[in-house]
Amino acid sequence: MVKADMQSSKASKIKQNSNSKPSRKNRYYHNTFKPGGYVHLVEEGNDFFGQITSVEEDGLFLDIPDNPDDCYFYDKEFVLQNVRPVSDLHIEILKRYTATLNPVRKLMIESLNISMDIIKKNGFDPKNLEQMKETIVPDLLNETQWIHWKRRVENLLHIPQSSSELHQHQSTDNLNLLIRPQDFIIRVQTFHCSNKNHTLIPIQAELLTKSFDGRSLSSIIIPAGYCKECKHFYILSSVFMQKSLFIKSALCDIVPEHDLHTYLSKQRVDTGNWAQESIMKKCGYTVSSMRGLNDHERSILLDQIIKYKILSQKEVESFLNWLIHMNSTNPTRKEAISKWKNDLEYISGQSKGPIIPIKKIVLR
């Protein structure tokens, strides 16, 4: 049995074996497995990477990135038969196990700890990711995946935009406009306003989008047009087609010019909490257990909604109060109400709280 002092607060998976261990195996075991080292293990036909958190006389505690809430214990005999040390968790190792581990999925969706390890083990500075591009594109990630992975890491580290991007944004500051979920973009074949008597101004528009994992907001900078008279945004069909992979995640509607009249005629003026509910849903706000947004992720999303003036702090507070009141008599919404109350308490104390940046991709 495992000693009591070996138990951690995390769940432990115990594999017991009473077989004696030869001294040669003991020497191999103690010389090979060290705390902090990485290992590759095979369990029930599945491959995993793990990091050794503790080396005991009769087994190892491993942290498995796929299961961040659990620390697993494996006895020595199992380790000697199924666990292999990995000298460095680097890109070549990931490529070797592509068929079973799907490293691209791990980089794009799962553990950011793996991304941090890959960056550091390859000798790169996480704050200068562009140095890595030639290493992992196209060998591991394609161009689109690279951009999304880079954005995830930058969001995690709160890395500011590069100086070149900042210069570009500042030099055309009067022409940079934010396109929010409440807005819409008209898609046109030629660069003109739908009202022929108006003139379009070329702009670099900041288009709010959902992040790759759908759990926060991001943005892209696109070449567009703006009519001061109509207060409408325009995008050329050629630009839309060329950048559709990025633009399709936009929070606003994109309307073909020939459908504009129908679109405007169907629009109704939403006011109050119903309008706020629609906007919050577009931004991805939810307390549904199916979507799995935790408290921290919801707080980041709410900070971004306020920071980018999609809704004001008072409007967000009003909306959350409305949700709590509307569902107060519904016993099935008890868990949701608890989350709304937590979010309301967080937002109410954020008048001078942190600013959560939205990372931008410039599409040229």
Residue 362 belongs to a domain: no
- Residue after which a domain boundary falls, among 266, 290, 315: 266
Residues 149 and 177 in one domain: no
Extended strands (E) in the chain: 38-43, 46-56, 59-63, 71-75, 83-86, 178-179, 184-188, 201-210, 217-227, 232-236, 253-256, 360-362
Closest C-alpha among 218, 212, 229 to residue 161:
218
Residue 354 belongs to a domain: no
| pLDDT at residue 236, rounded to an integer | 92
- Summarised one tens digit per residue, pLDDT across range 274-324 is 667 778 888 888 888 776 788 888 988 998 898 888 888 988 998 899 899
- Chain-centroid distance, C-alpha 94: 21
Q: What is the CA radius of gyration of the chain?
A: 26
- List, run by run, the mean pLDDT of 10-residue segments along the chain (364 residues): 34 42 72 82 73 86 66 85 75 60 68 75 78 78 76 73 38 60 90 86 86 78 88 90 82 91 72 69 85 84 87 89 89 90 87 51 57
Domain limits at 257?
164-266
- Summarised one tens digit per residue, pLDDT across range 200-233 is 888 888 888 887 777 788 888 888 999 988 889 9
Residues 258 and 168 in one domain: yes
**DSSP tally for the chain: helices H, then strands E:** 16, 12
| pLDDT at residue 172, rounded to an integer | 36
> pTM value?
0.48
Residues 320 and 250 in one domain: no
Residues 201 and 262 in one domain: yes
Closest C-alpha among 114, 122, 124 to residue 92:
122
